[in-house]
Amino acid sequence: MAFEMKYHITTRYLGKPSKRRSGLPISPGVKFVVAHDTGNPNSTAAQNVKYYENSRDEMSASAHLFVDDREIIECIPAVEAAIPEKAWHVLYKLEADNQLFGFNANDAAIGVEYCYGDRINADEAYKKYVWLIAYICYKFGLDPASKVVGHFFLDPHRKTDPVTGLAHSRRTYDQLLRDIVSEHQACTGTAAVVPAAPFTNEHGTVTAAVKLNIRSGAPNTRAAIHQTVPPGTQLEYFLVVRDGEPVNGNPVWYGDGDGHFFWSGGVAAAA
């Protein structure tokens, strides 16, 4: 199965060994992708890589690739290298990456930075960003529907990326996840095969404990949002899916019987 190479990836590797590029190989292999944004509006891919290089012995934070409307630059070996190397793009002390994927992100994930701002063509940058993440999934045999996560999801108390950059570009995180899957299918010429999640017919009522998204069609965070309800909303369910998408290690979702689903971790105990 081939992948359509729509864009060129420029390699401009940081000097090593340095604080930003240790030269250590990703081990035990690439297991997932972390989506970032630069947090610095109007900085281009080239400018970010230049800053990384100029400060490579001063700071340790890093990422593998930067994407803007003009180019994709790989500054730490990843998809264009025989041996991908580690980058320091997620704090080690966090638990969510281990809970979701079984590994620390720095040890087993490729970090992709999205450049945005008024002087960057949002549509072109977004196309490259989506394509690149889909290509990474293809290159390392990852499921694009389950092996991509936003930095904010792993570090919610400190980070908002890539949500902030995507919002500046009039897009959402949910849309990004769906578009990556669609791009992967388009570039490989494959159609999605989504197995039905096992469920049981159970009836009850729960109360939303947080602002909760009701999804259409599937028990996962990539399904389109049908409705968002505020905390305290009573929700009736007729199905319990115990093998939906795990969120924070919890794969249980409720269904209303009409094709809508919501995650059990966002509600109070069932009545």
Q: Domain containing 164 — which CATH number?
A: 3.40.80.10
Q: Is the pLDDT of residue 266 over 70?
A: yes
Whether residues 31 and 100 share a domain: the answer is yes
Would the CA dihedral through 14, 18, 20, 24 be positive or negative? positive
Whether residues 227 and 158 share a domain: the answer is no
Whether residues 165 and 221 share a domain: the answer is no
Q: How many domains does the chain have?
A: 2
Whether residues 110 and 17 share a domain: the answer is yes
Whether residues 138 and 221 share a domain: the answer is no
Whether residues 57 and 128 share a domain: the answer is yes
Q: Is the pLDDT of residue 35 over 60?
A: yes
Last residue of a domain, one of 158, 188, 218: 188
Whether residues 26 and 69 share a domain: the answer is yes
pLDDT tens digits, one per residue of 128-137: 999 999 999 9
pLDDT tens digits, one per residue of 135-183: 999 999 999 988 999 999 999 999 999 999 999 888 988 889 989 999 9
Residue 194's pLDDT is what? 47
Burial class (CB in 10 A: 0-12, 13-18, 19+), 54: exposed
Whether residues 121 and 244 share a domain: the answer is no
Extract the runs of DSSP E, i.e. beta strands, from 48-183. Answer: 65-67, 72-74, 109-114, 148-150
pLDDT tens digits, one per residue of 91-123: 999 999 999 899 999 999 999 999 999 999 999
Residue 184 lies in a domain: yes
Last residue of a domain, one of 188, 211, 236: 188
Residue 114 lies in a domain: yes
Residue 137 lies in a domain: yes
Indicate the pLDDT class of residue 197, thresholds 50, 70 and 90: low
Indicate the pLDDT class of residue 195, thresholds 50, 70 and 90: very low
28 prior amide bond cis, ω within 30:
yes
| Section 254-260 average pLDDT | 86
Show the domain range for 211: 199-266
